[in-house]
Amino acid sequence: MGIYVNPNNVNFQEALNSPIYVDKSLLIVEINKLVKTKKKYVCVSRARRFGKSMAEDMLSAYFSKGCDSRELFANLKIAKNPSFEKYLNKLNVIKFDLNAFYSDFENEENNEKSNPKKRDITSIFTREIRMELQEEFPIAEINGTDSIPSSIKKIYAKTGEQFVIIIDEYDVLIRERVADSVFESYLAFLNAMFKNADLSPAIALAYITGILPIVRDKVQSKLNMFDEYTMRDSWSLAEFVGFTAEEVRDLCNKYSVDFEECKRWYDGYNINGIETYSPESIVSTIRRKKFKSYWTQTGSYEALQNYILMNFDGILDDVKTMIAGGCVHVNVESYLNTMTDFHSKDDVFTYLVHLGYLAYDEDSERCYIPNREVRDQWILSVRPAPEYKLLIELVDSSKQLMESTIEGDSDAVADALNKAHEQICNNLNYNNEGTFQSVICLAYFYANLKYTVIKECPAGKGVADVVMIPYVPNTPALVIELKRNQCEKTALTQIRAKNYGNALEKYSGDLLFVGVNYDEKTKEHKCVIEKFVK
């Protein structure tokens, strides 16, 4: 038993001892299907604090010959599955976190007294792991010049023992943009470890995780045997990294937390049809009994700001659209999964999907800001930027617009919408109905703090342009109908004639019907507001 070779199960034990633990042990069933098959190479990429490391600790505790984990799993779902006994503590495990070694390497680089012939990061983790392999398998006669792949090959030749390789933060050198020589050495290690036909029989499973998918320009050819499970597409593993809606609902019921409020704050990632939540956000909310931004506090907002301020055509308008609650089309196939090769806004948005700052809908091929927690971070990121000065002014004034609407001050609402239109649209006319909706929703940005905002809401005999359903007591619901070159009263008549209020038939409070018309000749909005008391 060592730190890296056949580690114990202490890390998984600590997870089980945690005040809040969600059972993800059926991940083992899916992984066992891949062990000792051609599909044994698994790469899981997820945004930070989405449970990657916990899953690795669990897999290590299950496979490692360095411990007896039967009792740890006894009360978990996996214990009742026929697959449980298959590899329980029956395989050798090599597990390491590349980020930890990178920290050692960074310290060495910054040490003025260090040897000018500095070792690279690969030599650091090779030395540590090789020492443990020598101690664990003396029969293999591993020497001080052997690499990890050559050491494993010697062990397999002498004993027939197979290995599970688990690497956490495998992409840290890509994200930190280390010197070419350091990266090339690491690339050579990956090539020797996973692209070596002679070594393949010795590897029962390779399970690597990171934030980014496999780099497509330099690394993919080295790791093209890996199946990737990402924030965009995780197929059979989608439910096992991150909390599902069902798991969050159960936690909310158990700890008396408002599930609907959890959805408003933290829902929005839909991966292969599974609603996915950040474990960090949910656990922090339950423990502190307070809704706020937790996941985004684990990283600097500059990580987002640096990219959305890139000077790519269309990025400014698309950011405005998404902050307003809209979706934008994105080509996710062009991004090379690097930190340097950004050639378009598509590359930027795809990168932000992997970081968790955007969610992606596979069917519509659109991305969007997933929830309030993340939207707050976007506002914080654009607030200092001159390019977004007018947008922030609009966001800051949206509270007053909301108050004017509830008070029935149609002239004030019309003036506010005129200003919003001037601030957001590059030309004086709305390009299409979607642009009209986006400007209205952005002008009413403050409504997101009190309402569920639904565009194109099926209602009565048609579809209402915008419906706002409050989740704060004593707040009226809104039905907004938009017209161009007609009349605001016509919009109000349509709301009544098509019974759009039926969309809120289960809502017991007051309703506000808001008709808005934009005249392209006068370049002005006009508004009429009618209160309907149920």
Q: 260-310, pLDDT tens digit by residue?
A: 999 999 999 999 999 999 999 999 999 999 999 888 776 656 778 888 888
Do residue 165 and residue 252 come from a single domain?
A: no
List CB contacts of 211: < 8 A, sequence separation 6 or more: 45, 46, 47, 48, 169, 171, 175, 354, 355
SS3 48: coil
Final residue of a structural domain among 369, 384, 399? 384
- Which residues pair with residue 274 across a beta bridge? 271
Confidence of residue 38 (pLDDT cuts 50, 70, 90): very high
Residue 129 located in a structural domain: yes
Residues 223 and 190 sit within 8 Å (Cβ to Cβ): yes
Q: Which two tokens stand for residue 166?
A: 């688990």
Do residue 362 and residue 268 come from a single domain?
A: no
Do residue 192 and residue 306 come from a single domain?
A: no
Using the CB atoms, write b or e for 399-438: b if 16+ within 10 Å.
Answer: eebbebbeeebbebbbbbbbbbbebbbeeeebeeeebbbb
pLDDT of 525: 94
SS3 40: coil
Residue 468 located in a structural domain: yes
pTM listed for this prediction: 0.88
Task: Tell me how far apart the alpha carbons of residues 279 and 294 are, in angstroms, rounded to a whole number.
Answer: 10
pLDDT of 459: 76
Amino acid at 487: C
8-state DSSP, 70: H
How confident is the model over 105-125, as a mean pLDDT? Answer: 62
How confident is the model over 155-174, as a mean pLDDT? Answer: 95
How confident is the model over 411-436, as a mean pLDDT? Answer: 80
| CATH code, 482 | 3.40.1350
Confidence of residue 442 (pLDDT cuts 50, 70, 90): confident
Residue 4 located in a structural domain: no
Question: What total number of domains does the chain contain?
Answer: 4
Pairing of strands 41-45, 274-277: unpaired
Do residue 191 and residue 305 come from a single domain?
A: no
Confidence of residue 117 (pLDDT cuts 50, 70, 90): very low
pLDDT of 524: 92
Q: What are phi and psi of 66, to 5 degrees?
A: -85, 5
Do residue 376 and residue 426 come from a single domain?
A: no
Could you tell me what percent of the chain has a pLDDT over 70? Answer: 94
Do residue 380 and residue 391 come from a single domain?
A: no
Final residue of a structural domain among 208, 235, 262? 235
pLDDT of 299: 63
pLDDT of 106: 62
Residue 283 located in a structural domain: yes
Residue 3 located in a structural domain: no
Task: Tell me how far apart the alpha carbons of residues 202 and 376 are, in angstroms, rounded to a whole number.
Answer: 48
Q: Which two tokens stand for residue 159?
A: 């004993």
Do residue 101 and residue 214 come from a single domain?
A: yes
**pLDDT of 444 over the 50 cut:** yes
Task: Tell me how far apart the alpha carbons of residues 202 and 133 are, in angstroms, rounded to a whole number.
Answer: 14
Do residue 79 and residue 103 come from a single domain?
A: yes
Average pLDDT for the chain: 89
Final residue of a structural domain among 360, 384, 408? 384
Q: 351-398, pLDDT tens digit by residue?
A: 999 999 999 998 999 999 999 999 999 998 999 989 889 889 989 999
Do residue 148 and residue 103 come from a single domain?
A: yes
Task: Tell me how far apart the alpha carbons of residues 158 and 130 are, in angstroms, rounded to a whole number.
Answer: 16
Do residue 399 and residue 515 come from a single domain?
A: yes
Residue 5 located in a structural domain: no
Task: Tell me how far apart the alpha carbons of residues 367 and 322 are, in angstroms, rounded to a whole number.
Answer: 8
Q: Which domain holds residue 72?
A: 10-235
CB atoms within 10 A of CB 300: 11
Residue 2 located in a structural domain: no
Do residue 152 and residue 32 come from a single domain?
A: yes
How confident is the model over 177-199, as a mean pLDDT? Answer: 89
SS3 413: helix
Residue 367 located in a structural domain: yes
Nearest to 532 by CA among 496, 489, 486: 496
**pLDDT of 526 over the 50 cut:** yes
pLDDT of 495: 86
| CATH code, 77 | 3.40.50
Confidence of residue 504 (pLDDT cuts 50, 70, 90): confident
Radius of gyration of the chain (CA): 27
Q: 230-255, pLDDT tens digit by residue?
A: 998 998 999 998 999 999 999 999 99
Do residue 502 and residue 399 come from a single domain?
A: yes
**pLDDT of 16 over the 90 cut:** yes
